[in-house]
Amino acid sequence: MTLAYIGLGSNLADPQAQISSALAKLAQLENCQVSQVSSLYFSRPMGPQDQPDYMNAVVAIKTSLSAIALLDQLQHIEQNAGRVRKDNRWGARVLDLDILLFAQQVISTERLTIPHYGLKQREFVLLPLAEIAPDLILPDGDNIQELADQINKNGLKIHSKLS
């Protein structure tokens, strides 16, 4: 089994409901077991500011899937939530599910960049990740808690517990 971390984000169509429902779907995936869930956070949009605030969370899963098979499953969940993948790379979205880390693997292909390219620059990823995995060390040797302590929180706040 591989320990992987997944980032969840939404700023459209009832973000809190989107994230809880995505979590339920993750828990139902075959070959996946959700082992830890962060709090649900409010965050300011990164990118264009003329979009609603986001809700973000991070979960740890144990899976026997390969990284690419996991990505297929996550994209399936996104599509069922009504996510349209088009030219809105920095725009509002109903649901975003990103593989942040896949054990200590480093993957760089057309479909996958792991660790996630924005991990170290995004307070809405680092803080929830440090909440559930403070001792985590990235493949490049950086310590999650230290990165989380150093980043500008940009108004990030805990909204509620997820479970």
The reply to whether 96 sits near ligand ROI by the rule CB under 6 A is: yes
Token pair for residue 54?
A: 């986001």
The one catalytic residue in 53, 72, 93, 149 is 93
Of residues 102 and 124, the one with the C-beta less far from ligand ROI: 124
83 is catalytic: yes
Cβ proximity to ligand ROI: between 89 and 141 the closer is 89
Give, for 78, the enclosing helix (H) or strand (E).
Answer: helix 67-80
Is the Cβ of residue 44 or residue 62 nearer to ligand ROI in the bound state?
A: 44
Q: Does 78 engage in binding with ligand ROI (CB under 6 A)?
A: no
Length of the chain: 163
Size of the site for ligand ROI (CB under 6 A): 11
- Kind of pairing between the strands at 96-102 and 54-63: unpaired
Binding mask 32-61 for ligand ROI (x = CB under 6 A): -----------xxxxx------x-x-----
Among 115, 94, 128, 97, which residue's Cα sits nearest to residue 29? 97
Contacts of 120 (CB under 8 A, 6+ apart): 126, 138, 142, 147
Question: Hey, which residues are catalytic here?
Answer: 83, 93, 96, 98
